[in-house]
Structure 1
Amino acid sequence: VAALIGQKEYGKVLKRSTYITLITVLFLILIKAIAFWFTGSIVILSTLADSFFDFVITATNFFLVRMSLREETDQHRFGFGKYEALSSFIEAMFIFSVSMFILFLSAQRVISPETIPHTNIALAVMIVSIIVNFFLVRYQSSIIKETESISARAEHTHYFQDLLTNLAVIIAIVLVGNFNLTLADPLFAAAISIYMIYSSIGIFRKSIDILIDKEIDDKLKDEIKQIVMSHPKVDGFHDFKTRQSGSSQGKFFMQMHIEINEHTSLNESHNIVDQVEEQILKEFPDAEVILHVDPNNIVEKKVWND
């Protein structure tokens, strides 16, 4: 499990990642546009369109992630963490839309196949694209390990698809250029589009989970339960609810009713709650914790490890 980092460091890491990604994508757009100009290949067009939308999406993500890291205001007391989930949602919609468009163009090219001129130029460009994408994906993997960001994970998924896409494009170019298999161009483009549609649905679902306040991971919840029950004066708990902010695994909101002996004084009950909260925040410094005390004699059923 990746180590959880603070919100300030988290923001710096994501900003740096975004700058590197934008510069990389601009370079890929340039060389792919040159390749498409010379070849007119539909499969290269699919990768060019993909890279163009990569740039738009990454720039949008940068804005929305920066919004998500803003401090809460009087009108937004729970902060802006869902902006990041919103950016991933938008990215999934873009990927889905572009993939459907390329799928449509592929179907047209199957009906009316065309040869690809200047395949050597196309091949050289795609080899360079693969090398660039490989290093970008490796870099983004390190960002995910460091931040566990949903937007970084969405971008990593997409650029890993780009890597596979470029490999498929090279195969298609070789088949068309060396063996005159003109159908390889649209068929490979269609296969790439279908795979991207499938992946976009996964990103869409994860984004929706955060936007509709799905519970945090069971592993994190179990850690919190262990912390709460480790206090010697806590008899149990109930009404344990959580939701993730969207920025990182460590940024979440939780509320819980903890059960203590009915003879405990108000001051001591308050101290117990403070101690439990302190231990939770020690492990999850960016969490927002709300604890309520109930005397155990009025609780109908204690809940533990549910």
Structure 2
Amino acid sequence: MSAASRPSRLTANRIRAMKGGTPIVCLTAYTTPIAKILDEHCDLLLVGDSVGMVLYGMESTIPVTLDMMIAHGKAVMRGSKRACVVVDMPYGSYQESKEQAYRNAVRILQETGCDAVKLEGGEEMAETISFLSARGVPVLAHIGLMPQQVHTTGYRSVGHTEAETAKIRRDATAIGGSGAFAIVLEGTVESVAREVTDVLQIPTIGIGASAACDGQILVSDDMLGLFSEFTPRFVKRYDELGRRVERAVAAYASDVRVRLFPGEEHTFKRREHARKTYGSATDAPSLATIES
């Protein structure tokens, strides 16, 4: 494929320009094979810190490290050609100061080649986002339910009370003027999500925030039925791959135990021409040479 015919990768600016248009399709990705499958269908792939719970069995996203995020970011970039790839900044990698956030964001961009970073926080993080944006770091913001604050806020939907609604409004206003190219709204009641989407000039990407948002994102393993520890109300399961994998593994185990696998079609045989060509055992090539 020539350079001219290759699909161009969606940038943060192009995602921003999708505000109010066709809804933006986003999913999480953590590995090269999954990124290859998702890339054709998604506008944005998020290398989420949810990787800690989904792939590593952690109880929350808090223990996820910067090195982990960079490793998975590299893997997703190898599998992606078209989608805008965003890598989460893990807990503790940006909250200390805007300078710390900049150093770690630059490291993520340089080592993974991704298009942008994502960080959680509203008005308290607006200055940091402005600092990053002014220095060429595209930022996807995240307000509403914030998993990295689970120890102080819990894991529940927000916007039910006037105090919660006022907080989301303040966060949205601050982020809207910070330079972020889009904002994730998580676990936010529909009326508040709709209001924020209508007011902001940048796209809102909902996860448990209704169809009023400019786009949607889910954890891929949730919507595919691969992660079954718990299923949030806002997740629609489009398949039950976990059950299908379990059935396949059970069938394999059964075949192995009764010697149905491997069969003749899966077994290497000595080639006839090898026996004819070499006159004695000492002249014959090694088994590794004969079999392939």
TM-score, normalised with respect to structure 1? 0.19
